Amino acid sequence: MNVEMRGIRTGAAASVLLAILWSMTGCGGSGSSGFDISQASEAQVIARAIDRGECVGFEQQTFCASGAEVRTDDFQGASVIIEEPSSALVCDGRVSGQKCTASLEFTTVGFSTPNSLLATVSESESGPWTLVPLTVSEDVTGPRRVSITVPARSDATSPMPLIAAVLVYVGPVPDATLATGAHLTDFGADVAYVSSRLEIVIPR
């Protein structure tokens, strides 16, 4: 009997210890995801938003994947849907300096307050990011299709990686907006919508 009771106690202690270790390692359905925002870089946060199709808050800015509904007070339930081409974007052949351009469209949905838009592109989540022209940069409300002019180097010999970001501002765009920035947060947007990882090619 004593042996049996000792076995029960030993089994219970082992179960408690296992549970503690399990929680400490962040395992389990409702435990930590293993992703610590406070220790993450901007590139990691952008990658998480793209890969999980969600919005992630980081350094007073929100990064969202295309089509995800933002839940900030100013844009509750609104989203930006960036076109997802089935193949690489192709430059239209009009070369300006060392670049040619292609169009990438997006749609704004659910915006009920005045806002402004800018667009930037980068070769990866790590930046740097460069502002590019779009057809609408003034106050925008309701659904609207907008086209970004996406540049590529005309001397590229293989498909170039590309991520586009649509920057959304409450009201007008701030004065002295940067033309390029090492990080998306440098542009001071309220929400940044990022595309999936795309490619752009130059016809030969």
Q: Give the start-to-end residue ranges of the domains of the chain.
A: 1-34, 35-201
Predicted TM-score of the model (pTM): 0.74
**What is the structure's pLDDT at 153?**
65
pLDDT of 3 > 50? The answer is: no
**What is the structure's pLDDT at 149?**
75
Q: Which of 81-90, 115-124, 151-160, 183-192 has the lowest mean pLDDT?
A: 151-160
**What is the structure's pLDDT at 182?**
94
Mean pLDDT of the region 14-38: 39
pLDDT of 117 > 80? The answer is: yes
133-145 confidence digits (pLDDT tens): 877 645 555 556 6
Name the percent of the chain lying above pLDDT 90.
31
pLDDT of 15 > 60? The answer is: no
Q: Which helix (H) or strand (E) holds 7?
A: helix 2-24
**Cα separation, 47 vs 79, whole angstroms:** 18
**What is the structure's pLDDT at 8?**
37
DSSP string, 135-176: S--S---SSEEEEEEEEEETT--SPEEEEEEEEEEESSPPSS
33-82 confidence digits (pLDDT tens): 445 555 679 999 999 999 999 999 988 889 999 999 988 888 888 999 99
**Cα separation, 170 vs 114, whole angstroms:** 7
Determine the CATH number of domain 35-201.
Answer: 2.60.40.2550
Count, in order, helices (H) and strands (E) of the chain: 2, 12
